[in-house]
Amino acid sequence: MRWTPGGLSSDVEDRRGDSGGGFGGGGLGILGFLILLVVSLVTGRNYIGAYFSSGGATHVQQSAQRPVSPQEDRSAQFASFVLGDVQDTWTQILARDNIRYPRAHLVLFRDYTRSGCGTAQSATGPFYCPADQKVYLDLGFWDELKRFGASGDFAQAYVIAHEIGHHVQNVIGIERKVRAMQEQKPQARNKLSVAMELQADCFAGVWAHSTSDRDITNQADIKTGLQAAAAVGDDRLQKMGRGYVTPDSFTHGSSEQRMSWFNRGYTTGKVGACNTFAGGGP
């Protein structure tokens, strides 16, 4: 993938130097924090993140910043480049329909941080929060992506483009309509969630189409994007995690579905080709 490192844009919030240094004001206390840390390490469950999510800590003091490796610095700059290119592309696409595109922010963090949707934790992976219009990403997720069988710059670019796809859904009103339908029809919650995720994959493909037109990517890059889409399919993750698959519990779609919709967006380059709801949704 062709790109030039150039620092972080104003659309990136770098919180990687923030970490819990102590608690006060009726909070957990340093001893309680150490106990939770030990229990988390022993059990493998993130009790510290759960504590923050519940609002138990009243405030967190910032500790000294941890060093950033050259590889991590490159990853941050690459994420900034992709974010900017994806958002520039959607600004142009939506302008054709006289829709103003408000730029989302990308929050880079380590371990955990606050978001408009609760606590963001590295264990949950990248996500978009419609409440504050920000994408949350712990760059350590790229190591997990490699473990799932997807590596390379464009595999990472696909993830960011997918999350910005959710921002596009928010901007044009699809996100709100789907959430309302999920409240009205709880039995269709998972099916609607899958349609939302697959549409974000398709939107990522629409952006990928534009990168090919501009010679930023080639067919080898697109192949890694498809591998990334397959790597995070519900069936693949369930098989890896528990050894069997339950399609009724899917919330993001199968590997085949995710690859198919990404490829549809890529080959057509058209937003109209991304109707994953097929008459059953907005």
User: What pLDDT does 21 receive?
Assistant: 33
pTM of this structure: 0.82
Q: How far apart are CA 174 and CA 113, in angstroms?
A: 27
pLDDT at 257 over 80: yes
Give per-residue pLDDT as tens, 110-150. 999 999 999 999 888 999 999 999 999 999 999 988 888 88
Q: What is the pLDDT of residues 172-225, one digit of tens each?
A: 999 999 999 999 999 999 999 999 999 999 999 999 999 999 999 999 999 988
Tokens 């097929």, located at residue: 278
Residue 102, helix vs strand vs coil: coil
- In this structure, of 1-5, 87-91, 94-98, 206-210, the range with the lowest mean pLDDT score is 1-5
Q: Which residues contact 177 (CB under 8 A, 6 or more apart)?
A: 281, 282
Least Cα distance to 157 among 65, 257, 224, 60 occurs for 224
Helix (H) or strand (E) holding 118: strand 118-121
Which pLDDT band holds residue 154 (cuts at 50, 70, 90)?
A: very high
